A and B are shown apart, each in its own frame.
Chain A
């Protein structure tokens, strides 16, 4: 049975898609915008630009001085931020109902008129801030660059998902004011944006307010290319090995998966749950509990829209164990899952955990707004919020077998290994 969160949608003449989902339990409204631009749209030599650009959106616009967006909303009890991902950039704030119009005014000013205020000084400053973000979250963290290696190993050179959202230091250095202007003109437009209001607001009032503040923004003729064709699984295993000062050996075993919002991706996600996504998963039972050769096993699937998604299993190798043995065990369990399928208990656990996670996400007004924007922008269907769980519940053991055979074939794996340096190597260096 589908959930029944109320969803109202309308498209303004300039192409802005607006979703309103009333919920009067708390005197707050979440304003959430998804812009259809992420790192997958970046050009060679300008990786990391979508994210750097997101930072500039807080540095002032036509009627708003640098830093004022944060200050003005926080002083009214707003909690806000923005993030950049492969397929999109999102901007969001949750404000007391009385501050909703201020939030819309601030958002409309930067989404419509950012370029009036962009300066070389702001660009240089935020470039430095983003480089510190990269150092803090990637370069100065154990295994911090492992997923970047995964993207490069799984997706071919030049593919939209081959490079990470954070980009490279060289490309960040190369970003110019002209790039900022061109990027804004190309991607930031009402007809490439979804705006969701979730919370203490009625649909008519919500639509009228959005029209008042965003109605004047100009549509820009766009000719987005259609999504790329589905990328087939890797035909031969790929291997990347790094020896670094990490606390223990860690393997990332990654696969190409079917695109977001396909039945096959839902089935492949259940397959990854059975393998390593739950604490009762077969790899957890075998490697963590029984053989105790791993200190942790995790599995994840990320849905993307441009022709392929990503799935990966992370194996944290226990001290004294051989990573090759863990990889062999993973291959064996993949083959067993493909041959025998999941048990009734595994299926039931996967569905029950998906249900709790989904309902927990929807319990928060902020996350509900974010999901409504997501499914509107990427799939033109906000109602997925209400129907997603039915799709998960419909997955059968046969679906899991089929998805495992097609997408999780051991020959299609990419392995990124971060290994503790050999004692012999260390002596040689010393």
Chain B
């Protein structure tokens, strides 16, 4: 049987949204996606972590986790039961750019869902019992994160990459000290000041056939008032640490693997140089088993299950992060190879790599955005980042038109060779193995 020829894909664009504004100023974006019977709702409220008081950092995250733990109308158990009896799943969290409440609900329960989300956003009561419980579970979660090599590495990367004075250098959901200092009053105040319809966006995606969507939303979220809400200051890119180009080993005596993370500051999606080259570059460097990193570290050497590289845009600024784990005894060599590949890519990519990366990013788009969930997530991200609704489609056109010069220039702008390297592993064996293999100073920290 001979190898078949591939027919080129038909043109495609990201599903269009219709845009509406409710009487209270809330922006609504609707995606009607026939056949998607579970609706995905996202409420996006821009907020700034930088406005948290230093002593109670994490207060925004804790506030978000308490939104569905009791409202003026329903006690926490009633609320949970109502959600579940109507087939809803709800989550709420905070990122560098804002509060995101996400809800999945079958078509037939949209009205109930809209009312419950409104109650969670507008009238949470933060019962003292639930506050204590959520704060205690955050403390337990901190211990769980400390025990996970990947989480522990992420925390050390933030601390090393960004300046001590910058909020981005510390955990979004707070530390043992700051979470222990949070009281109900802090949460009530944080909610009143930062959560409101002004500047917020409600995204709804799914099969909206026959649903009086705007009426349902107007009767619920349209009545959301927040008189004390102060929209946040403009987001600023995190300030990199002056001494970020160094190696930090987090000691885990006896660990069978070393978690490796290599990072540097990177752009956000509104970069004036254009976002298009970035997903292509990360795919070619570390986005598949055939990419530069895994071609050597996995397929040739067998040192790892896989190493991934990705640009991580924030609302302002971002980072370029490469991560993976290797067995302890090859750590020194693996780190040297990994840094060599990241630095070597500054010499330029090949025409084949460009074509492969462009085709992968461009041609996977219809499938990556095929569900209500994925469409709602992308549109919510655009809302949070302040990007226009045609960004996704225009970016795909820019990806298709990318040249080798664009790709090389974008990679070189970010990958300057000043790497923050964090290794979570057995320091007694890892540190000696690094000698002569890594640039910059090596320091070791405890668990």
Contact = CB atoms under 8 A, between A and B. Distances in A.
Interface of A: 23, 25-28, 58, 63, 66-67, 70-71, 74-79, 94, 96-99, 101-102, 104-105, 108-109, 124-133, 135-137, 139-142, 212-213, 216, 245-248, 278-280, 285, 288-289, 292, 295-296, 316, 318-319, 345, 348-349, 352-353, 355-356, 359-360, 363-365
A32 to B, nearest CB: 14
Nearest to B365: A77
Q: Which 5 A-B pairs have the closest CB atoms?
A: A77-B363, A128-B302, A98-B7, A101-B4, A352-B87
Given A74-B288, A98-B9, A352 B84 contact: yes
B140 A319 contact: yes
Interface in B282-297: 288-290, 295
Nearest to B258: A140
A77 B35 contact: no
A74 B356 contact: yes
Contacts, number: 200
A70 B289 contact: yes
In this complex, the member of B33, B144, B370 whose beta carbon has the largest number of chain A beta carbons within 10 angstroms is: B370
Contacts of B139: 319
Given A71-B356, A247-B144, A345-B81, A77 B289 contact: no
Contacts of A58: 289
Given A70-B289, A136-B325, A139-B256, A349 B370 contact: no
B364 A79 contact: yes
B85 A135 contact: no
Interface stretch (B145-153, B404-412, B414-422): B145-153
Contacts of B80: 279-280
Given A105-B1, A136-B257, 15 more contacts: A28-B367, A76-B363, A77-B359, A105-B3, A128-B301, A140-B325, A142-B144, A216-B1, A292-B132, A345-B85, A360-B373, A363-B37, A363-B373, A364-B370, A365-B370
B281 to A, nearest CB: 15
Interface of B: 1, 3-4, 6-10, 12, 33-38, 76-77, 80-81, 83-89, 104-106, 130, 132-133, 136-137, 139-141, 143-144, 146-149, 255-257, 259, 288-290, 295, 298-305, 325-327, 355-356, 359-360, 362-368, 370-373
B4 to A, nearest CB: 4
The B interface, classified by DSSP as helix, strand, loop or mixed, is: mixed
Contacts of A94: 367
Nearest to A128: B302
B303 A128 contact: yes
A75 B355 contact: yes
Contacts of A97: 7, 9
A98 B148 CA distance: 43
Contact of A247 (B9, B33, B147): B147
B296 to A, nearest CB: 12
A130 B298 CA distance: 10
B335 to A, nearest CB: 15
Contacts of A316: 140
Contacts of B302: 124-129, 132
Contacts of A360: 38, 104, 373
Contacts of A288: 133
26 contacts: A25-B34, A27-B366, A63-B3, A67-B290, A67-B295, A70-B289, A70-B290, A75-B359, A96-B366, A124-B302, A125-B300, A129-B298, A131-B327, A135-B256, A140-B255, A140-B257, A245-B147, A247-B140, A248-B140, A248-B143, A279-B80, A295-B136, A352-B86, A356-B87, A356-B105, A360-B38
Contacts of B288: 70-71, 74
Contacts of B301: 128
Contacts of B7: 97-99
Contacts of A319: 139-140
B83 to A, nearest CB: 8
Nearest to A137: B305
Contacts of B34: 25
Contact of B147 (A71, A96, A246): A246
A102 B290 contact: no
Contacts of B105: 356
B143 A67 contact: no
A27 B12 contact: yes
A124 B299 CA distance: 11
B308 to A, nearest CB: 12
A135 B304 CA distance: 10
Nearest to A132: B305
Contacts of A349: 81, 84-85
A270 to B, nearest CB: 13
